[in-house]
Structure 1
């Protein structure tokens, strides 16, 4: 991997199938599909700026970052805007960061995040919130986001439980997910 040159670019529809395939491998069946990829990517495009990015090793997709632009997503019971130090109207949502297992530890996730933050700033965002998977191997998702400047807002047990009852196959819990989501925020 060290002698490979990773290229980064905006995600477009020509990459949807590869994004869904990698997302399924990493996050489990039912997390990402051909329908919600279109919806999710569209939520990250605002004012002519796309905040969704991919990482490529040659022609192989090895990572992606999906974001929702400020004012293009709704908070729900798993969000705590009253605890954020940013205005909700200026807060983006980091939906998904995914890196192929063979390419982790080389800064790909961090580079994807930097590209997304730059794009989100152009869209008027002053912060980005996310829900990180506490049960990721070695709690790596939370460690990574913390290293990138993320601050813990609140833990949310059972965030993905309903999704698992509706067909999401959690890699840890299968169809009865009890994983904890760490609501975290990065201020720009």
Structure 2
């Protein structure tokens, strides 16, 4: 895995990010319009906090991170449990690694890169909603090892996406009923 190169997300990566994201997380998880908006939300102070991992030309992982102040906490956010000013918290929107490349530290490296950029942008912490239905609950274990603290669990976190946007959860037969763990990493 020493051939992996890490670089900040750029528009020429979009097609490959969408392809990998939909393959891992389910059909209609990402599209060009969403990804362009997410990309714009990644920037603060001229710094991009979203990253990709490449093996040659093959995109094998990505981390989408919204800069602090570029997103609004919603009903799935327990801001009074964060202990930080919500305007100083970035949002770790998505971390995805190709199944052929998992277990080699790619996700952790992408997260560390995003944290470094978010800190340079002025963030004091980062929030994520961790998919508890990931294979072997690996997402929760990984985020915990990286310093994530569980704030609250949210049943049916992605159901609205399934109803309104056609999201097809890879583990639910009908509408998504997966639970998310709201988790915070302090910088």
**Same fold, judged at TM 0.5 (above):** yes
CA distance in 2, matches of 1:38, 1:163: 18
1:164–1:174 contact (8 Å) kept in structure 2? no
Q: After superposition, what is the alpha-carbon deviation per residue over 1:89-111, rounded to whole angstroms, capped at 9, x for unaligned?
A: 10000000000000000000000
* Unaligned 5+ runs, structure 2: none
In the TM superposition, structure 1's runs of 4+ consecutive aligned residues that sit over 6 Å from their partners are: none
**1:68 — aligned with what?**
66
1:129-140 matched pairs, under 5 angstroms: 129-140=127-138
Residue 51 of structure 1 deviates from its aligned partner by 0.3
1:105 and 1:97 mapped to 2: Cα distance?
Answer: 14
8 Å CA contact 1:26, 1:98 repeated in 2: yes
Say how many residue pairs are matched.
Answer: 186
SS at match of 1:106: coil
TM, length-normalised to structure 1 = 0.97
Match for residue 13 of structure 1?
11
After superposition, give the CA deviation of every residue in 1:104-139 in whole Å (9 maximum; x if it has no partner).
000000000010000001110000000000011111
The 5 A counterparts of 1:165-176 are 165-166=163-164, 167-176=166-175
* 1:86 CA drift (Å): 1.3
Q: Which blocks of at least 5 consecutive residues in structure 1 are unaligned?
A: none
TM-score (norm 2): 0.98
Deviation (angstroms), 1:47: 1.0
Corresponding residue of 1:79: 77
| CA root-mean-square deviation | 0.8
- Mapped partners of 1:11, 1:68: distance in 2: 12
